[in-house]
Amino acid sequence: MARVGKKKQLSPRNLILNIVIVILGVIVFFLLYSFITNSIVNKPVEWTTESPELGDAAGEIIQLDVLNGCGVRGIAQDFTDYLRKRNFDVVQSANYKTFDVEESLVIDRTGDLAAARKVAYALGIDEKNIVQQINPDYYLNVSVVIGRDYEQLKPSQ
């Protein structure tokens, strides 16, 4: 006689093993996704130079703020996200004192020109747009002012 309508039930032990397998599969997928995202998609900025006056900016933590100088809503946050994914310590994003900045600027605040050059390089800002405004009361290495040329910079490409 054939049994009709009877389902095979999992034992509690097999049910627990299946749940553990699913959880481990999710963890492996998450770790693989994180690895691919951090090492391939959002690569850290490669900084190499043969110029001794630049110093060793590659190993230091660069603290900076990103300021919206073009008036485009959310642009400072977009650039902040881009820089944070590349291991820069962005401590603030805000509006600049004016919205009529034509070309984006990198402002050296502490006299560490190598850090300013690394930030400019990461964003695709020309070195002629690096300015020094050293202020001992400012606790950031660099300020970035996003100008109306933001579409030509790396985060917008």
- pLDDT tens for 39-76 read 766 655 555 444 444 444 445 789 999 999 999 999 99
Same domain, 131 and 67: yes
Residue 62 domain boundaries: 58-156
Same domain, 21 and 85: no
Same domain, 134 and 111: yes
Same domain, 144 and 97: yes
According to DSSP, the residues that pair with 68 across neighbouring strands are 95, 146
List all residues 6 or more positions away from 54 whose beta carbon is below 8 Å from its beta carbon: 113, 114, 117
Domains: count for the chain: 2
Q: Write the CATH number for 119.
A: 3.30.70
- pLDDT tens for 13-30 read 888 999 999 999 999 999
pTM above 0.85, yes or no: no
Tell me the three state secondary structure of residue 5.
coil
